[in-house]
């Protein structure tokens, strides 16, 4: 299917809605039936029929069809946040007594789900450095049922070899889930490498304007229907029709936004990588990165995130650089129009503290501004450091 068709036409059924170019927001919680026979049919086919908006809403369905097609999946199911999607996908694959192998340095709340939440329900989790597939193999137990991936990972942007990990999982009868938010559905399609379920925080690139929250799970019809009947309907973390409409609008510009973000990021990274006050840039698309070849094998191109390790002797020096930036906003999240930094030093109260990530790490997200404007900002802040 053509990308342009998916984004501009798929699922929209304009003829049904006055030929409106923008799809309708069907802001209704409920749907009526004309006959008992119709109601009976809807109750038996709730995932596909219009009975109640927690189950199926036509505006939300348009988004689900488009995102399924972008991820080359049979189906997709939308949630009220990325974590709603992550939690539903994970819970759909495990039960008490099972074991999960999860990659280290996932998104913070995914880590909490794995470390604090799943153990309460009798599910054990082992966290591994996913850059070596052998670590997954070593962690496998007889009760391992799920490999959970995030590639690139949060903050350090390390990759997992998707084809190799998926093949290993198949061999041991384990399911695989990947959080594909950092790559976006345009730059990496994990189902093509044998991964079973793909999750996105739509809040990031898919929305693209920092004004709406949502999540999506993409996979085979069988797996998505299983989630529909359990986690989706019972936990109820569904997406509102209005939010789905904002995501459909965000999707219209996803290809041009991603192209701009990819180009600008390469320029900003090139500047930082050659700057004497920068010790290292964590970005798999740098030719010197140990996973450069893998990055090109499984991703189409880079997205807008990377981290730098500053040559800094003190917390104050890192803080000075971050505080001096005038155009990069200091914030969590990413994926919108605006460029951001996230200073790891914010998690430190003293330099002697030992956290998982060093105090001199600063995560960057490059948005849609002119890259030269961003480089000038970084240059003046580095000069003040
Ligand atoms: C933001 C984020 C999430 C969580 O998404 P929300 O929409 O904020 O719930 C999950 N994974 C990654 C990689 C993220 O960046």
Q: Whole-model pTM?
A: 0.97
Cβ neighbours of 320 (radius 10 Å): 14
Ligand 1 lined by 179 (C-beta under 6 Å): yes
What would the pLDDT profile of 217-269 be if each residue is shown by its tens digit? Answer: 999 999 999 999 999 999 999 999 999 999 999 999 999 999 999 999 999 99
Q: What mean pLDDT is reported for the chain?
A: 97
The confidence band for 20, taking pLDDT boundaries of 50, 70 and 90, is: very high
What would the pLDDT profile of 111-148 be if each residue is shown by its tens digit? Answer: 999 999 999 999 999 999 999 999 999 999 999 999 99
Ligand 1 lined by 81 (C-beta under 6 Å): yes
Q: How many angstroms separate the alpha carbon of residue 206 from the centre of ligand 1?
A: 12
Ligand 1 lined by 243 (C-beta under 6 Å): no
Residue from 89, 90, 109 to probe ligand 1 pocket by mutation (most atoms less than 8 Å from CB): 109
- Whole-number Å distance between alpha carbons of 315 and 295: 32
Tokens encoding 162: 């998707």
Write down the domain spans for the chain. Answer: 3-252, 254-382
34, pLDDT greater than 90: yes
103, pLDDT greater than 90: yes
Cβ-in-10-Å burial (0-12, 13-18, 19+) of 1 comes to exposed
**DSSP assigned state of 238:** P
Q: How many angstroms separate the alpha carbon of residue 122 from the centre of ligand 1?
A: 25
- Return the pLDDT at 351: 82
User: b/e per residue, 266-288, with b = 16+ CB within 10 A?
Assistant: bebbebbbebeebebbbbbbbee
- Return the pLDDT at 353: 86
The confidence band for 62, taking pLDDT boundaries of 50, 70 and 90, is: very high
Among residues 292, 274, 275, which one has the least CA distance to residue 283?
A: 292
75, pLDDT greater than 90: yes
Cβ neighbours of 313 (radius 10 Å): 10
Ligand 1 lined by 305 (C-beta under 6 Å): no
68, pLDDT greater than 90: yes
First CA to last CA distance, the chain? 50
Q: What is the DSSP string of 150-215?
A: ESSPTTT-----HHHHHHHHHHTT-EEEEE-TTTHHHH--GGGGT-SEEEEETTTTTT-SSS---E
Q: Ligand 1 atom 12: the closest Cα is on which residue?
A: 107
- Return the pLDDT at 352: 84
Question: Quick one: what percent of the chain has pLDDT higher than 90?
Answer: 98
Ligand 1 lined by 201 (C-beta under 6 Å): yes
On the question of a common fold for 3-252 and 254-382, the answer reads no
376, pLDDT greater than 90: yes
100, pLDDT greater than 90: yes
Ligand 1 lined by 106 (C-beta under 6 Å): no
The confidence band for 56, taking pLDDT boundaries of 50, 70 and 90, is: very high
The confidence band for 354, taking pLDDT boundaries of 50, 70 and 90, is: confident
Of the candidate CATH numbers 3.40.640.10, 3.40.50.300, 3.40.50.620, 3.40.50.720, the domain formed by 3-252 belongs to 3.40.640.10
Q: How many angstroms separate the alpha carbon of residue 111 from the centre of ligand 1?
A: 12
Residues contacting 271, CB < 8 A, separation 6+: 375, 378, 379
CATH 3.90.1150.10: does it fit domain 254-382? yes
Ligand 1 lined by 51 (C-beta under 6 Å): no
- Return the pLDDT at 350: 86
Peptide bond into 332 cis (omega under 30): no
Q: How many angstroms separate the alpha carbon of residue 202 from the centre of ligand 1?
A: 8
- Return the pLDDT at 344: 95
Contact 71, 223 (CB under 8 A): no
């Amino acid at each position: 299917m053509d990308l342009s068709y998916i984004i501009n036409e798929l699922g929209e059924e304009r003829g049904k809605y006055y030929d409106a170019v923008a799809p309708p927001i069907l802001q209704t919680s409920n749907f009526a039936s004309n006959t008992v026979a119709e109601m009976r049919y809807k109750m038996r086919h709730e995932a596909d029929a219009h009975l109640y908006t927690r189950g199926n809403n036509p505006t939300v369905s348009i988004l689900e069809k488009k995102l399924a097609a972008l991820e080359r999946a049979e189906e997709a199911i939308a949630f009220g946040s990325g974590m709603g999607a992550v939690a539903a996908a994970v819970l759909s694959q495990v039960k008490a007594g099972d074991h999960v192998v999860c990659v280290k340095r996932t998104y913070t709340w995914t880590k909490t789900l794995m470390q604090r939440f799943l153990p309460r329900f009798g599910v054990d989790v082992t966290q591994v450095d996913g850059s070596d597939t052998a670590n997954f193999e070593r962690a496998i137990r007889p009760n391992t049922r799920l490999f959970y991936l995030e590639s690139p990972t949060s903050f350090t942007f390390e990759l997992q070899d998707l084809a190799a990990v998926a093949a290993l999982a198949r061999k041991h009868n384990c399911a695989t889930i990947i959080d594909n938010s950092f790559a976006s559905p345009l730059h990496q399609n994990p189902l093509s490498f044998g991964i079973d379920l793909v999750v996105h925080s739509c809040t990031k690139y898919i929305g693209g304007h920092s004004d709406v929250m949502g999540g999506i799970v993409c996979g085979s019809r069988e797996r998505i229907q299983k989630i529909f009947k359990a986690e989706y309907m019972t936990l109820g973390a569904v997406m509102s029709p209005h939010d789905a409409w904002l995501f459909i609008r965000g999707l219209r510009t996803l290809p041009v936004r991603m192209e701009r973000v990819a180009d600008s990021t390469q320029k900003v990274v090139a500047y930082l990588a050659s700057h004497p006050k920068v010790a290292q840039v964590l970005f798999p698309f740098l030719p010197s990165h140990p996973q450069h070849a893998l990055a090109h094998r499984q991703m189409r191109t880079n997205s807008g995130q990377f981290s730098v390790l500053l040559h800094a002797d003190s917390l104050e020096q890192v803080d000075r650089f971050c505080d001096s930036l005038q155009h990069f906003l200091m914030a969590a999240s990413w994926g919108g129009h605006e460029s951001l930094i996230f200073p790891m030093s914010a998690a430190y109260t003293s330099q002697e503290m030992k956290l998982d990530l060093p105090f001199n790490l600063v995560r960057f997200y490059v948005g849609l501004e002119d890259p030269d404007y961003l480089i000038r900002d970084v240059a003046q802040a580095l000069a003040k450091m």
